[in-house]
């Protein structure tokens, strides 16, 4: 670097001779100059830096080193009105149909390269980190290369008003630009398409960010969903509490009356098969009750009057009219229930007390209670 005055003009730029500089280095230099209140690089300076040539005010160029602009003193009332000439290197605000565009942005636009939305978003983030004024709408539109809307024509100022108003210095211009940006609203705080899932994504897409519309259809859907949830929870709680209630099995009575002995003729009577699972069998000398359960695997046999036998439909076991097995896999005769005459003269049957004839053992069919004498 050179002396202090040269430093003020060069900023962070390397002194001549130097190599060609890219857009990133030049943009960083412009941002540095804006933070420090130094005159920004002009278009000619930027072109010279890109081409690797000395700038006009450097050694080897055609001009001299320019000094920083000074703020003019306030004119006294007696002094004649005069228009102050702004310094050549001071940052200027271009008043056009595009709005307020800083000299830095104007230099970027003059390069002819259109910026993408992501590049503008990155520049806005950089300015936020560096506490710099963000890009306004006019600057964003110019960098994107989009046509700007026509601004309303300003009222022409009189020569006396222009002469009486002092020209603002570079920091004052930057302050006014920052104030303009601060008034520009939400569009200056967010550029580009927001990421999916962020709080601004729905609003940027034109969608409501507070949920579905509160109309009659959505209200009916919500009621239906909540009713389904409530019904499910109610059924679940009922099933849960039912688990703690006692479970009682109601079985048919094991002792019952089946009428008088005179009501039954010789042979097998099946009228109590469905209700009590028994057959009443009468022979010339006795009445007994056969429990309708196959001794093989517990199926209920069928009475075949034409064949005069009981036939099990499950595995083909056969029994004669008195329930004695003679064919199939049945190992022994069917059991007989306890019978007795009640006080009113009816036959009282108790199927909880059965009489059997185990295979290879004495029969219980002749025991007291296994039959009634006819």
Query: Helix, strand, or coil here: 287?
Result: strand
Let me know whether 171 and 26 are in one domain: yes
- Which spans in 53-98 are helix H? none
Length of the chain: 374
Let me know whether 259 and 187 are in one domain: no
Let me know whether 87 and 180 are in one domain: yes
Q: Give the pLDDT confidence of 42-57 residue by residue, as tens digits.
A: 888 888 888 888 888 7
Last residue of a domain, which of 170, 193, 216?
193
User: What is the CA 95 to chain-centroid distance, rounded?
Assistant: 49
Q: Give the pLDDT confidence of 91-139 residue by residue, as tens digits.
A: 343 434 345 888 888 888 888 778 888 888 889 889 989 888 898 988 8
Model confidence pTM above 0.75: no
Bridge partners, residue 279, by sequence:
290
Q: Give the pLDDT confidence of 226-243 residue by residue, as tens digits.
A: 999 999 999 999 999 888
Let me know whether 168 and 310 are in one domain: no
Let me know whether 49 and 186 are in one domain: yes
Helix, strand, coil in percent for the chain, rounding step 5: 30, 15, 55
Let me know whether 27 and 136 are in one domain: yes
Parent domain of 330: 255-373
């Amino acid at each position: 670097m050179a002396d202090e005055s040269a430093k003020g003009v060069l900023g962070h730029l390397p002194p001549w001779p130097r190599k060609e500089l890219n857009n990133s280095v030049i943009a960083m230099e412009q941002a540095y100059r804006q933070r420090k209140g130094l005159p920004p690089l002009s278009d000619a300076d930027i072109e010279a830096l890109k081409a690797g040539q000395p700038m006009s005010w450097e050694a080897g160029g055609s001009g001299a080193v320019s000094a920083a602009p000074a703020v003019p003193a306030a004119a006294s009332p007696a002094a004649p009105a005069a228009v102050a000439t702004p310094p050549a290197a001071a940052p200027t605000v271009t008043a056009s149909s595009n709005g307020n565009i800083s000299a830095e942005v104007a230099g970027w636009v003059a390069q002819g390269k259109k910026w993408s939305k992501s590049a503008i978003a990155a520049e806005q983030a950089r300015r936020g980190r560096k506490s710099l004024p963000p890009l306004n709408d006019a600057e964003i539109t110019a960098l994107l290369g989009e046509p700007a809307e026509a601004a309303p024509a300003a009222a022409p100022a009189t020569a006396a008003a222009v002469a009486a108003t002092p020209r603002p210095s570079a920091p004052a211009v930057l302050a006014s630009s920052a104030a303009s940006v601060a008034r520009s609203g939400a569009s200056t705080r967010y550029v580009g398409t927001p990421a999916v899932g962020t709080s601004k994504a729905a609003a940027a897409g034109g969608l409501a960010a507070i949920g579905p519309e509160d109309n009659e259809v959505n209200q009916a859907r919500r009621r239906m969903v909540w009713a389904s949830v409530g019904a499910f929870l109610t059924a679940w709680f009922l099933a849960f509490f039912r688990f703690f209630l006692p479970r009682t099995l109601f079985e048919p009575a094991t002792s019952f009356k089946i009428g008088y002995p005179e009501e039954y003729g010789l042979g097998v009577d099946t009228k109590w098969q469905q209700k009590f699972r028994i057959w009443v069998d009468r022979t010339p000398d006795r009445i007994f009750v056969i429990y309708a359960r196959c001794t093989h695997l517990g199926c209920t046999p069928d009475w075949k009057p034409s064949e005069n036998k009981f036939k099990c439909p499950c595995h083909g076991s056969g029994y004669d009219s008195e329930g004695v097995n003679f064919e199939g896999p049945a190992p022994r005769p069917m059991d007989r229930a306890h019978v007795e005459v009640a006080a009113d003269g009816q036959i009282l049957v108790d199927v909880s007390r059965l009489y059997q004839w185990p295979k290879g053992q004495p029969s219980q069919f002749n025991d007291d209670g296994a039959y009634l004498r006819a």
